[in-house]
Structure 1
Amino acid sequence: MEINEARCCGQCLRSPPPFETTHVPWRYEGDIAAALQRFKFQADRRAGHLLAALMDEGLNTLKFEAPAEILMPVPLHADRARERGFDQTAWLARQLAARRGWQLLGAQRVRATPSQRDLDRRARRRNVAGAFRVPRALPETVILLDDVMTTGATLASLAGACRDAGVRHVSVLAVARTPSRMHRIC
């Protein structure tokens, strides 16, 4: 895996994530954060459609290292999806897949993990370690999707499961990332 050192934080240089590229077009603040919160916690489909349209438009200038074969959303645990009434990342993935003509493939969150909200980088990694199961018949390239990326621990855990299943190229998409300098990712 080749990493662009000019765009990576020290943590990613010391311990590279199990994905090659990351595309996160917005910071999790202001109107984007408000739209994501309405979508995620109030099931506001209008906010979801806006976020999907913005993501789709942003993807027009993105060049993947390998052709996109599968879009895989980071899954919620079934209990958390029942609490919210839906899985916001799976919903967003269906919208993007339909707009882009991409195939969807689901992963499974095999254990309920506590919220990552108040955890530091190391605790986040431990919290989601081994939390995902993916189908064994995966293509060479997978694009993972999440709504918000903070330290990248959740996406790294899912990417690791994909690598273990034989995926050679893993890219990451997220709507927004937290703006803290200590959470910068490649």
Structure 2
Amino acid sequence: MPGRCAFCLAPTLDDRPWCRDCFETLPWNLAACPVCAEPQPVASQGRRCGTCLRRAPAFVRARVPLRYSEEVVWLVRRFKFRASPRAGMVLLALLEASLTEEARAWPQALVPVPLHASRARDRGFDQAEWLAKRLALRLRVPLHHGTRLRDTPSQRGLDRQQRRTNLRRGFSVVEPLPSRVVLLDDVMTTGATLEALALACLAAGAEEVEAWAIARTPLGGNMSQAW
């Protein structure tokens, strides 16, 4: 409803689609690895996670403001599986609200994580493309595209290494890219998909790649005891 919070229907905060209380209590991903954005215990805030210390990803950093839990799960599902434009606009606004001026000025191009053509036809909606079109206009940067070369099996239930194997050489980027490129997806799980696309972008001429998403799935189950 116009002028009402997307979460509780209370009056909104200024021109934002949320009220102050709901915004402040969202599951913000504050204590996260600065490289891959994996949620960390508060005591580890600002430190690289063990995985990134052992093997840094192809992208230089990830910016993922929220954890995929609580109200965020509800919002993402409405957007992804029901193609709700209201949910999409709220998610995009949350991502934008988290970006510093430095972050907004960094990218020279945006590349959404592509669906395979057959999956896009079945679903009838490409959530990353929808988000990237609007964000590229707001950041005033060009939108570039990659291609998913094969319709990989579902990533559900796979660990980080299995996901990397599943997606190996899974993307291609044909058009030349500028030096600084941002990849965009709605939810980041292990980072394997963004890693594979980052490698394709580097092969297409990018020198540095950042991974942006709206929410990050905590690895290893429930992180509630650590927060």
Q: TM-score, normalised by structure 2?
A: 0.74
Q: How far 1:100 moved relative to its partner?
A: 2.0
Residue 141 (structure 1) aligns with: 180
1:54 to 72, 88, 94: 94
Gaps of 5+ in 2: 1-34, 37-43
Gaps of 5+ in 1: none
Residue 137 (structure 2) aligns with: 98
Identity across the alignment (%) = 50
2:69 is aligned with 1:22: no
Q: How far 1:115 moved relative to its partner?
A: 1.6
Q: Is the CA contact (8 Å cut-off) linking 2:128 and 2:186 kept in structure 1?
A: yes
Match runs of 1:29-68 below 5 Å: 29-59=69-99, 61=100, 63-64=102-103, 67-68=106-107
Q: Is the CA contact (8 Å cut-off) linking 2:111 and 2:182 kept in structure 1?
A: yes
- Number of corresponding residues: 180
1:150 and 1:27, CA in 2 relative to 1: closer, same or farther beyond 3 A? Answer: same
Q: How far 1:65 moved relative to its partner?
A: 10
Q: Which has the higher contact order (CA 8 A, sep 6+)?
A: 1
Aligned letter for 1:151?
T
2:97 aligned counterpart, secondary structure: helix
Match runs of 1:104-123 below 5 Å: 104-123=143-162
2:169 to 113, 124, 130: 130
1:7 aligned counterpart, secondary structure: coil
Residue 21 (structure 2) aligns with: none
Counterpart Cα distance in 2 of 1:62 and 1:24: 16
Residue 164 (structure 1) aligns with: 203
2:216 is aligned with 1:177: yes
Q: TM-score, normalised by structure 1?
A: 0.89
Q: Is the CA contact (8 Å cut-off) linking 1:19 and 1:170 kept in structure 2?
A: yes
